[in-house]
Amino acid sequence: MAHVDRQAWDVVVVGAGGAGLRAAIEAREAGMRTAVICKSLFGKAHTVMAEGGIAASMGNANEHDNWQVHFRDTMRGGKFLNHWRMAELHAREAPDRVWELETWGALFDRTADGRISQRNFGGHEYPRLAHVGDRTGLELIRTLQQKIVALQQEDEGELGAYDARLKVFQECTVTRVLKDGDRVSGAFCYERESGRFFVLEAPAVVLATGGIGKSFKVTSNSWEYTGDGHALALLAGAPLINMEFVQFHPTGMVWPPSVKGILVTESVRGDGGVLRNSDGKRFMFDYIPDVFKEKYAETEEEGDGWYEDPERHRRPPELLPRDEVARAINAEVKAGRGSPHGGVYLDVSTRMPAEVITRRLPSMHHQFKELADVDITAEPMEVGPTCHYVMGGVEVDPDTAAATGVPGLFAAGEVAGGMHGSNRLGGNSLSDLLVFGRRAGLHAAEYAASLDRRPAVDPVQIDAAEAEALRPFSAEDAGQDAGHETGPAENPYTLHQELQQAMNDLVGIIRKESEMFEALKRLAELRVRARRAGVEGHRQYNPGWHLSLDLRNMLLVSECVARAALEREESRGGHTRDDHPAMDRGWRNINLVCEVAHPQGEARTADPALGQIRLSRRETPPIRRDLLELFEKDELAKYLTDEELSR
């Protein structure tokens, strides 16, 4: 065995976004020696890009808001596929997490009477998003980092070392979760700058690695969202659920091509922006689905009246949940009523004075001016759907965030599944990160403290992880041991582009059976070729090598998405089937569960030409009665199965 540096910690948190930092703070405060490891620079997580705000029913902007209303909105948004207990905990605990952030130094925008201001967002009955202009994620991360520094200063004072109980390993990537029997024993990692391998030994590992967007061509996600945590969980033996549900945010930039997919925050619509087609028509009034008819305005006058007087007007349909708006835009463009660059128009310029636009949406103003030479105070934006968020993820226990079947493994934030059902409401991610990040850190700490014996790290697994990570440097031979023909090394960038194109075209916003069969075929071919993904040069800061390693994860996760999407023969939330366009109540309580057939040894032993994912159906636990009683019977009849209704 080559020498690999090993360090012992109590809890290892993989990811330094909102979920990871909140988990690390909690684990450290529970007395555990905690390591945080992140692929990019500390501070550059996805969370920092969040714009619109954090959803929490503080009732500052409308006193009728409370956790029950937030719970109802979240379940409706997810079309009742959400794990009800997660939705309940989230709605109950989100206000405390926001207030806590304020006590740690977050400076939210204020109402006229000095309370935390809350703004409207799609699917939320009341203005509910605490925000800092359109740079909320930046303030969230800044505050959590400040808290981490404060804890490190405490350790310096008490123990003489800043990183005695809380250390950040930035620009380092985890490629395997290590195990002792069934239990977690640590993580195998490499440092991006030097290419050096190391092992973080720990009885508890919290996955907080964010999303999977980089498997799709048009996406709001940045380079590191390659589904690593999803794949790490799968390979460690933990199942994923709900992977067919991928959120296409309705409003990404469509022009110029170099910035296609970059997000245009929902706050633009929350603050009064409207969508128009090439005929100038506010088309969303034509796309209000039956389940939402009672809650949304039928005329422009009524919708506009809602901004000033929400008690006496219904909300405009531009504020329907994201899946509905994305499908409507898609349909308008398909019908030939799109903008010149294949989107539709989003206009604030005729709705608000320029001074209000630049104050409330400073980043959007800057983004369009710099990237597209469009002044949003004077002209409309061109926007279209972009892959934004994955609802599916690691199956977890709602209260403890423990992953199913692998003691010591926890997951929180975007990498965890269940909370958002088939579609996430805007603003519900930042609150999810804080609520479940805290829970994951707490329970990981409790778990680590409860063990009589630390699990041992298996040197054979370290050797295997090292060999797997080094394979791209000897790619020409890589086919042979898998029983496949050897061929020339494959360029990882070409493979990535082909994967993104396939996922975009065949498993994108609108899906049909024949295309998903085609997608699975292409994924199988790409898996075979990815075995030969090769790079030249050395291990010092070699992005081609890093991408070769990420490909394993993207291919695994993409197969989960395609298989689950093929299996679910209905349309619900972020999963739209052209060949099964209606929501089917019979599917309301079915989760699709993805597992790999050969977890630890999978990468080399399984035949890449065959599917690597085993799919099964699992019934969701019945929704607790008092929570069901928060809804009208008529509404429940639209969602629940016959059996559930008769119960």
For binding to ligand FAD (CB under 6 A), which residues are involved? Answer: 14-20, 37-40, 45-47, 49-53, 136-137, 173-174, 208-210, 220-221, 224, 228, 263, 389, 413-415, 426-430, 433
**Minimum CB distance to ligand FAD smaller for 275 or for 401:** 401
Tokens of 451: 């063990």
Shortest spacing between CB 160 and ligand FAD, in angstroms = 28
**Minimum CB distance to ligand FAD smaller for 212 or for 516:** 212
Shortest spacing between CB 55 and ligand FAD, in angstroms = 7
**Minimum CB distance to ligand FAD smaller for 558 or for 571:** 558
Cβ distance 148 to 158 under 8 Å?
A: no
Cα–Cα dist 268/134, whole Å: 9
Shortest spacing between CB 562 and ligand FAD, in angstroms = 21
Catalytic residue, from 322, 360, 439, 532: name it: 322
**Minimum CB distance to ligand FAD smaller for 384 or for 479:** 384
Shortest spacing between CB 567 and ligand FAD, in angstroms = 25
**Minimum CB distance to ligand FAD smaller for 107 or for 645:** 107
The DSSP bridge partners found for residue 71 are none
**Minimum CB distance to ligand FAD smaller for 248 or for 631:** 248
Cα–Cα dist 96/99, whole Å: 5
Cβ-Cβ contacts under 8 Å for 282 (sequence gap 6 or more)? 274, 275, 276, 300, 318
Shortest spacing between CB 346 and ligand FAD, in angstroms = 15
Q: From residue 521, give the alpha-carbon distance in Å to each of 232, 346, 562.
A: 24, 38, 10
Shortest spacing between CB 265 and ligand FAD, in angstroms = 6
Which DSSP string corresponds to 374-414?
A: --TTTSPEEEEEEEEEE--EE-B-TTT-BBTT-TTEEE-GG
Tell me, yes or no, if 322 is annotated catalytic: yes
| Nearest residue to ligand FAD on Cβ basis | 17
Cα–Cα dist 118/480, whole Å: 59
Longest dimension (CA), the chain: 73
Task: Give the SS3 label for residue 324.
Answer: helix
Pinpoint the alpha helices (H) of 207-314.
228-236, 267-270, 300-308
Cβ distance 329 to 250 under 8 Å?
A: yes
Interior angle at CA 54, CA 379 and CA 297, nearest 5: 55
Cα–Cα dist 402/445, whole Å: 12
Residues annotated catalytic, as ranges: 322
